[in-house]
Amino acid sequence: MQDGAEVARAAAEGAARQSYGKLVAFLAARTRDVAGAEDALADAFAAALERWPQTGVPQKPEAWLLTVARRRGIDAVRRRLTSEASRDHLRLIAEEMEARMVDEDLPDERLRLMFACAHPAIEAGVRAPLILQTILGFDAATIASAFLVSPATMGQRLVRAKTRIRETGIPFRVPERAELGERLDAVLEAIYATFAEGWSDPAGTETRRRNLATEGIWLGRLVASLMPDEPEALGLLALMLFAEARRVARRSTEGDFVPLAEQDCQLWDRTLIDEAEALLSHAATKAVIGRYQLEAAVQSAHAARRLTGRTDWMAIRELYDALHSIADSPVVAINRAVAVAEADGAAAGLAALYVLGDDKRLADYQPYWAARAGLLARLGNTSQAAEAYDRAIGLERDPAVRRFLQQRRAGLGGN
């Protein structure tokens, strides 16, 4: 039987998982002080762990935490502000928040907070980490490990971003339709970056990165639920679910990397695929096509192999043609070249790759060299294929993928 401390801790952890971002967003939306909201909420959770073992878990933990955090936040501001006008201002804030707490449901401000974190005034590289911290409560060390920077550097970047939100008065609001496109793209890109960081560790061997793919999907579900008529939000969630459905099949029982074309589609998660297909179909009814819908459509075409036993490379090439026309991305260009090779032959695919040869972003990009090596090998140019494989092997960080590339390199023979 659990004692009071264990019950309290479990309740606090549950509240943090379900409501941390909701509480931070509610507290910060009125002051634009994200760091202050986080500090006040941290004090509230500390108070809960101290009091709940003695008093029991309250019927509404979220309301209890918000009340305590609100009082801590107001006390902190009161210590900084002593004028009569400031006291009146604080009294009005307190009355407003007390009135809101009478309502049965706490308003959900998380989407507004995400748009603030993804504002153009915030450095692009810190938007995803900032959303991870403010919405999910990840600490700087966890985020730093996931994004391959030092904890001190990540901490400084997050502090600067929060300071910028406060000092420049970045609004906590969902943009109007006329300005939504760019801002929504920033939110979705930050969520996808979160998912991609976790996806790059498929075996879950790096503890601090293990849950990022799951958290990315959770954020995607949140945005899709709050913006159910935004086709790109639906498309992104579908894209992530298609990818997640193949997680188990990406590694053999021995831990070896299995490329998509060789995966056992019976291992794919059909429930996730069906959900992704439904989301993609719903997005299509909005008659607005975007990047994430097209990428999800590519994954849908791959997923169809579980039903047809074959991959429709002509359809995939056409989808990549459309995607390439709207997304200036080396990833898209390389995938398109691979699709061209499957649909029209290795020589055509290699020609599509060579067009990218002057793009400096590809010099240290492993998938480019791996794709190039594979196409050169298919054309019998083993010498250049070996050089490309060597380059890809040197750039790869995942041991399983590196072994796979080494096996392909060894299969060339004599080079």
Residue 212 placed within a domain: no
Residue 81 placed within a domain: yes
Give the chain's domain count.
3
**Residue 356 near residue 375, CB atoms below 8 Å:** no
Residue 409 placed within a domain: yes
Domain match, 299 and 329 both: no
Domain match, 15 and 104 both: yes
Final residue of a structural domain among 93, 108, 123: 108
* Per-residue pLDDT reduced to its tens digit, 174-202: 777 777 777 788 889 888 888 887 776 54
Domain match, 91 and 35 both: yes
Both structure tokens of 37 = 């909201």
**Residue 226 near residue 237, CB atoms below 8 Å:** no
Mean pLDDT, residues 284-290 taken together: 90
Domain match, 261 and 339 both: no
Domain match, 26 and 59 both: yes
Both structure tokens of 162 = 């929060």
Q: Considering the chain, what percentage of its residues have pLDDT values greater than 90? A: 39
Which candidate, 140, 109, 305, 68, places its Cα nearest to that of 222? 109
Please give the residue range of the domain that contains residue 409: 323-415
Both structure tokens of 324 = 């390439």
* Per-residue pLDDT reduced to its tens digit, 73-124: 666 655 655 544 445 544 444 444 444 444 446 677 888 888 888 888 888 8
Final residue of a structural domain among 78, 108, 138: 108
Place of tokens 């599509």: 352
Which candidate, 332, 334, 272, places its Cα nearest to that of 306? 272
**Residue 195 near residue 240, CB atoms below 8 Å:** yes
What gap in Å lies between CA 252 and CA 258, rounded to an integer? 7
Domain match, 303 and 348 both: no
Domain match, 31 and 94 both: yes
Which element (helix H / strand E) includes 18? Answer: helix 4-29
Q: For residue 107, which phi and psi values (nearest 5 degrees)?
A: -60, 140
Residue 138 placed within a domain: no
What gap in Å lies between CA 386 and CA 406, rounded to an integer? 10
CATH of the domain at 345: 1.25.40.10
Residue 159 placed within a domain: no
| Whole-prediction pTM | 0.77
Which candidate, 299, 301, 292, places its Cα nearest to that of 323? 292
